[in-house]
Amino acid sequence: MHYQSFHPPVRTLMGPGPSDVSPRVLQAMARPTLGHLDPAFLHLMDEIRTLLQYAFSTGNELTMPVSAPGSAGMEACFVNLVEPGDKVIVCRNGVFGDRLRANVERIGGTAVMVDDDWGEAVDPAKVEAALRQHPDAAVVAFVHAETSTGALSDAATLTNLAHDHDCLVIMDAVTSLGGVPLLVDAWGVDAVYAGTQKCLSCTPGLSPVTFNSRAVERIRKRNSPIQSWFLDMNLVMGYWGGGAKRAYHHTAPINALYGLHESLLMLHEEKLENAWARHERHHRALKAGLESMGLAYIGTEGRRLPHLNAVAIPQGIDEARVRRRLLREYGIEIGAGLGELAGKVWRIGLMGTSCNARNVYVFLGALEAILGEMGAQVEAGRALAAARRQLEES
Ligand SMILES: *Cc1c(COP(=O)(O)O)cnc(C)c1O
């Protein structure tokens, strides 16, 4: 057997994440590794916290990246805030909502499910009905941006409802961070977890989390010990929160954190509002192009994510073949449907660094060519012109 270094093929990542990682972030990650208690590294950790507070629009002291992917941030929120026997109202409008349920049940809690159609936002009226029916509920959990369907839920309204009924809120913001407005303090969301490989365009493998004082108090007043040693926030904070007295908890993923720092710095330079506007503007251009080809979005106007475009597969088109050709011939990756939507939609991401005019044009041109060759009724050049017109107007 002859082994060689791995050199990945050149790709354009336009799926549900990971998104294209900026060369700035990759270069940052290639810098020399420091010890995890080196004063220079501890200084970097402080900056990462401040930059994360900016990204989350929060002043929460307990704000840090969990050293593992978004799913670990999810688990961190649940194991710290839910105890065996707790009742949790779980909103499910896609794949990730069902993972919230799985977390609650594995802890030994009871998940009260509030279901909405896949592609639609969480319906606050149903959540309110569940809260009235279950006055003993302790937590409401929902996904802000459902990456499996492209639906955006109204986090402020859902959080207010939960607080009116004395519940804490756990929110999945894995895909929303850096892509759409996410105002943790203004909305009062108690515990939030996010991801680095979606709109932050950092590499996968870290999960920024933030807990407000209500959530910290709930953790302090627990009756039972936190079942996970690694994700126990009381212990993690000895390292991330300890100021000058930081102590070893686990070896931080040093170089990955260099990358996160650089991606947060890029967001800070661009400014949150501009990043949100960029995602919206390119979404409109992509949408104009896709619709001019006769493709239809699922879900409801005004409740869709700009950075995750879920469109129905046209009649008679072999959807997997289109994705294979996009990858093989054009180096473009898009996402397939998940769960209930498998085989029914394509999920086209415009996240972080991947969200730019060139990608919109190249993707539309490639899709148009492939669909035309497969016998679909598409008029050459029309999608590009529609996208260009939309971008020039905005
Ligand atoms: C991607 C994603 C996750 C999981 O993140 P991983 O980094 O893959 O573990 C969770 N929730 C949502 C909404 C996501 O899009």
257 and 337, same structural domain? no
173 φ/ψ angles, rounded to the nearest 5 degrees: -120, 30
Using most ligand atoms within 8 A of CB, pick from 21, 92, 175 the residue to mutate for ligand 1. 175
Report how far residue 307's alpha carbon sits from residue 317's, in angstroms, rounded to the nearest whole number.
24
Q: Which residues line ligand 1 (CB under 6 A)?
A: 17, 69-71, 96, 143, 147, 172, 174-175, 195, 204
Report how far residue 228's alpha carbon sits from residue 380's, in angstroms, rounded to the nearest whole number.
56
* C-alpha of residue 152 to centroid of ligand 1, in Å: 15
pLDDT band at residue 67 using 50, 70 and 90 as cut-offs: very high
Task: Let me know if residue 73 belongs to a domain.
Answer: yes
- pLDDT at residue 243 greater than cutoff 80: no
pLDDT of 247: 87
How many H helices and E strands in the chain?
14, 14
| Ligand 1 atom 6, closest CA | 70
| Ligand 1 atom 3, closest CA | 70
Task: Report the percent of the chain where pLDDT is more than 90.
Answer: 95
* C-alpha of residue 195 to centroid of ligand 1, in Å: 7
| Ligand 1 atom 8, closest CA | 70
312 and 260, same structural domain? no
pLDDT band at residue 244 using 50, 70 and 90 as cut-offs: low
Task: Report the percent of the chain where pLDDT is more than 70.
Answer: 99
Task: Let me know if residue 76 belongs to a domain.
Answer: yes
292 and 226, same structural domain? no
Which residues is 336 bridged to in the sheet?
Answer: 346
> What does the pLDDT look like over 147-195, one tens digit per residue?
999 999 999 999 999 999 999 999 999 999 999 999 999 999 999 999 9
pLDDT of 51: 98
Report how far residue 26's alpha carbon sits from residue 43's, in angstroms, rounded to the nearest whole number.
21
- The continuous run of DSSP H or E covering 332 comes out as strand 332-333
Task: Let me know if residue 16 belongs to a domain.
Answer: no
- The continuous run of DSSP H or E covering 90 comes out as strand 87-92
Using most ligand atoms within 8 A of CB, pick from 13, 71, 74 the residue to mutate for ligand 1. 71
DSSP labels for 158-225? HHHHHHHTT-EEEEE-TTTTTTS---HHHHT-SEEE--SSSTT---SS-EEEEE-HHHHHHHHT-SS-
Higher-confidence position of 331 and 380 = 331
State which of 244, 268, 292 marks the end of a domain: 268
200 and 339, same structural domain? no
* CATH number assigned to the domain comprising residue 372: 3.90.1150.10
* CATH number assigned to the domain comprising residue 91: 3.40.640.10
* C-alpha of residue 320 to centroid of ligand 1, in Å: 22
State which of 268, 296, 318 marks the end of a domain: 268
Task: Let me know if residue 213 belongs to a domain.
Answer: yes
How many structural domains is the chain composed of? 2
- State the chain's mean pLDDT as an integer: 96
> What does the pLDDT look like over 26-43, one tens digit per residue?
999 999 999 999 999 999
pLDDT band at residue 242 using 50, 70 and 90 as cut-offs: low
Task: Let me know if residue 15 belongs to a domain.
Answer: no
Task: Let me know if residue 107 belongs to a domain.
Answer: yes
Mean pLDDT, residues 255-280: 98
Q: Is 142 helix (H, G, I), strand (E, B) or coil?
A: strand
State which of 268, 287, 313 marks the end of a domain: 268
69 and 51, same structural domain? yes
> What does the pLDDT look like over 71-81, one tens digit per residue?
999 999 999 99
Mean pLDDT, residues 343-357: 98
328 and 312, same structural domain? yes
- The residue length of the chain stands at 394
- pLDDT at residue 119 greater than cutoff 80: yes
pLDDT band at residue 387 using 50, 70 and 90 as cut-offs: very high
294 and 186, same structural domain? no
- pLDDT at residue 332 greater than cutoff 90: yes
77 and 118, same structural domain? yes
Task: Let me know if residue 3 belongs to a domain.
Answer: no
User: Quick check: pTM over 0.95?
Assistant: yes
Give the type of residue at 15.
G
pLDDT of 94: 97
70 and 47, same structural domain? yes
> How many CA within 13 A on the CB side of residue 16?
19
Domain extent, residue 330, equals: 272-393
338 and 249, same structural domain? no
278 and 253, same structural domain? no
Range of weakest confidence among 257-266, 305-314, 374-383 = 374-383
pLDDT band at residue 351 using 50, 70 and 90 as cut-offs: very high
Task: Let me know if residue 4 belongs to a domain.
Answer: no
357 and 254, same structural domain? no
